[in-house]
Amino acid sequence: MDNSGMYVGLDIGTTSIKVIVAENVKGQMNVIGVGNERSNGVSRGVIVDIDKAAEAIQRAVRQAEEKASIEIHDVIVGIPANMLKIEPCSGMIAIDDQSREITGRDVRNVATAALIQSLPPEREVVDILSDEFVVDGFDGIKDPRGMVGVRLELHGTLFTGPKTIMHNTRKAVEQAGLKLRGTVINPMAQGMMVMNDGEQDFGTILIDLGGGQSTAAVIHDHQLKYIDVDQEGGQFITKDISVVLNTSLDSAEKLKRDYGYADSTQASDEDEFPVDVVGQSQPTPVSEKYLAEIIEARLDQIFKHLRGNLDKVQALDLPGGIVLTGGVAALPGITDLATDEFNTNVRVYVPDQMGLRHPSFTLALALVKYFGGLSEIDLLIKSALTGSTQLADETDEIRQREQAAETQQAAPTQSNQGKQPKPKKKKNRTEGIKKFFSDFFD
């Protein structure tokens, strides 16, 4: 895919693998293809069998390719929040020439300086975000390029995770014949998409109820502040149904989807459905209410675990309340059950794109929207993770050309005085930069 305006999000989930192909047209992400295949080789959000996971990824990608009528070569992959740590970081460099302007390479270098951390051998840096730049003591700067100074500082946030998760993800993507265009921490991408500006600013909790695990993330001041992962999800609900009703896992999953309620008070005690019970020739009738009680018991356990940890950091005091998403969030009555448990306002996020109107597609869509919305500065800082200077050099070259063109246009010669200068078509720099960035994970 040579078109730099095309983005492919890969959500490697425990129960399903989803691929979304989106095209960035004038700042608007238009979905043109979707792949959704049953997952394999993934347990509790983490790849545990690289070969099986790679095969499942290939199947999902092929499905998306057929629907989008393109060939997919690179993907943006979501990284689960398991054992993720969030900590502040800072870096400082001296500008070698006091008379020159700060460049993209300087930005990358100061980000590299901020990455110098004493990490245990089993952990690695997953991502780095800038909060502000400081030039010669002047803080609150978002983009220092073009400024003049002798000292450049970066204050930001560092995210570290287990090397095993990162290695297995990269290996599975590579084995599937794909190139890793970039990685995004799952709750960070989701939070930025499902919350409005006020919710991100004043503080809101995102709870992703996935198949293999449930993740609570706190977004405050437009930043990911806290993460908690409960190793229970939709699969556990299915297993509970299977055990209690003595039916197969496939049958239990179908019952959950077709007749399940999260809140047992909303289910009927009179409405019944047939259940194929192991060892019996005839189906056994089961009421909606009884099934709902099984589902509610597990959800109640998940919510209580998450609430205990959210209470410890006083996250439930934030005015934004809770946003639920993920496949389990599609269960009827989930909002009321969560409202009773957390004692705050709760809503369910469902993507509004045609064909994706189910909360299980939230993450895959969030990946392409998040990565597509990254600025030049964001990408320059991310490039420090790979150690490459190519992106910084390219951005500096583009800036130099633009400055030279502006200087030439501002100084008309005698031959063109009185003539109306032709408007120059401005190059979409950020899209070009993202194209270069896609080569970094080779």
Task: Kindly tell me if the per-residue pLDDT of 415 is higher than 60.
Answer: no
3-state class percentages of the chain: helix first, strand second, coil last, to nearest 5? 40, 30, 30
What average pLDDT does this structure show over 226-242?
97
Q: Which residue has the tokens 């259940």?
A: 275
CA dist., res. 396 & res. 325, Å (int): 40
DSSP code for 26:
T
Cβ atoms of 251 and 259 within 8 Å: the answer is no
CA dist., res. 375 & res. 386, Å (int): 18
What average pLDDT does this structure show over 21-38?
92
Cβ atoms of 14 and 213 within 8 Å: the answer is yes
High-pLDDT (> 70) share of the chain, %: 92
So what's the pLDDT on residue 440? 46
Cβ atoms of 212 and 45 within 8 Å: the answer is yes
So what's the pLDDT on residue 411? 66
pTM: 0.88
Q: Which residue has the tokens 């992959």?
A: 77
Per-residue tokens: 126: 């997953």
Lowest mean pLDDT among 118-127, 183-192, 387-396: 387-396
Task: Kindly tell me if the per-residue pLDDT of 238 is higher than 90.
Answer: yes
What average pLDDT does this structure show over 363-392?
90
The secondary structure of 208-273 as a DSSP string is EE-SS-EEEEEEETTEEEEEEEES--HHHHHHHHHHHHT--HHHHHHHHHHH--SSGGGS-SS-EE
Task: Kindly tell me if the per-residue pLDDT of 27 is higher than 60.
Answer: yes
So what's the pLDDT on residue 397? 81
Task: Kindly tell me if the per-residue pLDDT of 422 is higher than 60.
Answer: no
pLDDT band at 391 (very low <50, low <70, confident <90, very high): confident
Task: Kindly tell me if the per-residue pLDDT of 436 is higher than 60.
Answer: no
Give just the sign of the alpha carbon dihedral 120, 121, 126, 128: positive
Phi, psi at 126, each rounded to 5°: -95, -40
So what's the pLDDT on residue 1? 35
Cβ atoms of 343 and 170 within 8 Å: the answer is no
pLDDT band at 407 (very low <50, low <70, confident <90, very high): confident
High-pLDDT (> 90) share of the chain, %: 80
Instruction: Give all domains of the chain, ordered by start, each with its CATH number.
Output: 228-348 (3.30.420.40)
pLDDT band at 412 (very low <50, low <70, confident <90, very high): low
pLDDT band at 119 (very low <50, low <70, confident <90, very high): confident
Q: Which residue has the tokens 């005085």?
A: 417
- Tens-place pLDDT, residues 266-293: 999 999 999 999 999 999 999 999 999 9
CA dist., res. 327 & res. 18, Å (int): 12
